[in-house]
Homo-oligomer: A and B are copies of this chain.
Amino acid sequence: MTLTGQSLVAGQWIGDSANGEFNAFSPARNEPLSTRFFNLSAAELDGAIAAAQSAFYEYRKTSFAQRADFLTCIADHILALGDELLEQTHQETNLPMMRLQGERMRTVNQLKAFASALRENPESPLGLKVVDEADAARAPLPKPHTELNYLPLGPVAVFGASNFPYAFSTLGGDTAAALAAGCPVIVKNHTAHPGTGELMARAALAAIKECAMPLGVFAMVQSKAYDMSHQLVAAPEIKAVGFTGSFNVASKLQATIAKREEPIPFYGELGSINPQVILPNKAIEQSKEIAQSLCQSMLMGNGQFCTSPGLWLVPTGCDELEAHITACIDDAPSDTLLTPGIVNTFKHQIAARSQLDKVSVLGAGKLAKAFHANAHVFACNGDDYLATPALQEEVFGPAALVVRYDSEQQLMTLVNQLQGQLTASVHGTDADLNKADSLIEALQYKVGRLIKNQMPTGVEVCGSMNHGGPFPSSTDVRSTSVGTNAILRFMRPICYQA
C-alpha cells in the first residue's frame, strides 16, 4: 500500500508540502528513501489537540471492557499489517527482521496485557479501589463512606524513540498505557521511521472505526520542525507527556513544560549505562561464560538498546575474562546505526575515548563500511574512572567500558558515585552473593531494576516490571513505562464520599 506521507488528525490524513517536507532514510544504503513526509502545520496541530480534548469527554466514559476491546483490536490490526510493516521498518532502521518480529510481538503483548488487566479489574485499574465503610455510630463524629478510585488525566503527548520503532513509538508502551487509562493520545512520530509511524497510525485508525471510538482519541503527527514538539507540550489541554530520547532534547522539552501555568507530569526516559558488576569468583570460575554474555548483550541491536550494558565492573587482574572479551569483540561484525546522526555521534565518542591516556582498547570489531559503527570495548582502572566524569556518559551504539576494581571498598566507591540507571546487574557465584549485601543495598538506590546473574537487555512485559530509574535515566522515578503499572502514569486518584 502506498504511503501518504501525511499525519493522522481526527480520523483524517492531512498535511501537504506547504509546510515543508522530509524524506525517510535507509541506514543500510546510507541514502534517502523516496517517500516524502509532510510537516504538519501549527494550525493543524492545534486541530489535533482540540480533537483530543473533545474526544476525551467521550472516551473517559468508556468502560474498562470497551477499552480492553479497543486495545485488543489495535493489537490485531498491527498484526494484520503483516510483512509490509516489518519491511517498512527494516528499510527505515536496518534492524534485523527477527529483532523486529520480536519487538512487534512485545508491543502487541503490551497492548494485550493492558486489555487483560482492564478485564480482570473492571472497577478500578489493577484492582486498586479502596473502600472504607461508613460508621454512623462513631464518636465524636460519624464516619462517612469513602471510596478511592482513579480517573484519566486527559490528553497525553507521546514522543516516539528511534531505537524501538514499535515498543517505544507510535503504538508503544506510553500510547497503550494512556489509552488504557482513558486518555486520548497525540504521538509525535520519530522522523527516523516515519513510514512505520504511518502504518501504525493506519492500524490505530482501523481499530478506532471498528470499535466506534471518537476519532480524536489518537493522532499521529509527522514533522521535522523543532517548534512543533514545544507547541504540543505547552498546550493547556495536554495533561501528561511521555518521551523516550536524548537528555538534551528532554531538557529542552522540560524547560518548556516548566513554563506552563499548570504543572503536568513529564515521563522522560533518557538513557542509561546499565552497570554490570562481576564479582570475583564469577569472574574467575566462569570467565568465558560471563565475557560472552556481556558481549552478546551489548551487541544486541548493535548496542542500541536502552538497557545495553555499557559499564562492566570487573576485578583487577582477570586476564582470562578480559581475553575472552577481546576475542568476542574483535570478531563482532560492524553494522549501521539508526541514523547517520547517531553514527556520527558514536564515532566522535569512540575517537574521544580512544585518545584518553588512561583508557585502552580491549577489543574492536572491523569496520566493513565507512558508515557503519563497529563494536568497541575500552578498559581503565577504578581510580582513573573516578577521576574522569566523562567516562560515565552513555555511548549510544556498540560500546562498553571495563572498569577494573582493586578491592571491595573501591567497588563500593564506584557504585556510590554512579548516576541513576535504568538497570544494573550483579553477577556472582553463591559464594560471591553471600558477601554482597552492602553492595546490593547500595546498588538498588541507583536503579529502576536490579538484576542477579542475568543480562539487562530483554525487558519482560508483566505486572512486576519497572522500566525507569533515578534521574538521569528517567525524569519521573515514581513510574514505569513498561508493564501494567504504567497505566498509573496517566491516572489520578479521586475519593468519592457519601
Contacts and interface: CB of A to CB of B under 8 A. Distances in A.
Interface string A131-157: 110000000110110111001010000
Given A478-B493, A493-B448, A496-B450, A464 B148 contact: yes
B454 A144 contact: yes
Interface in A81-126: 102
B498 A452 contact: yes
A263 B263 contact: no
A131 B464 contact: yes
A498 B148 CA distance: 34
A432 interface: no
Contact of A493 (B130, B452, B466, B497): B466
Contacts of A466: 148, 493-495
A320 interface: no
Interface residues of A, number: 62
A33 interface: no
Given A146-B460, A148-B463, A464-B147, A448 B494 contact: yes
A389 B175 CA distance: 36
Interface string A467-488: 0101110011111100101001
Copies of this chain in the oligomer: 2
Contact of A450 (B441, B449, B464, B494): B494
A281 interface: no
B265 A451 contact: no
A266 interface: yes
A484 to B, nearest CB: 9
Contacts of A444: 151, 494, 496
Contact of A462 (B141, B146, B447, B476): B146
A254 interface: yes
A109 to B, nearest CB: 12
Contact of A465 (B60, B146, B454, B462): B146
A453 interface: yes
Contacts of A485: 130, 148, 493
A262 interface: yes
A61 interface: yes
Contact of A495 (B148, B153, B464): B464
Contacts of A460: 132, 143-144, 146, 497
A22 interface: no
A495 B450 contact: yes
Interface string A275-286: 000000000000
Nearest to A129: B464
Contacts of A144: 454, 460
Nearest to A451: B497
Contact of A254 (B263, B479, B483): B263
A317 interface: no
Contacts of A462: 132, 146
A13 interface: no
A492 interface: yes
Contact of A497 (B102, B132, B141, B454): B454
Contacts of A258: 255, 258
Given A148-B483, A255-B258, A448-B493, 14 more contacts: A130-B463, A141-B458, A143-B460, A144-B454, A148-B465, A148-B485, A262-B471, A265-B476, A447-B494, A449-B497, A450-B494, A451-B496, A466-B495, A480-B493
3 closest Cβ pairs, A-B complex: A258-B258, A466-B495, A148-B464
21 contacts: A60-B445, A102-B140, A131-B464, A144-B460, A148-B465, A262-B471, A262-B472, A265-B476, A447-B494, A449-B495, A449-B497, A450-B495, A451-B497, A451-B498, A466-B493, A468-B493, A478-B488, A478-B491, A478-B493, A479-B493, A485-B493
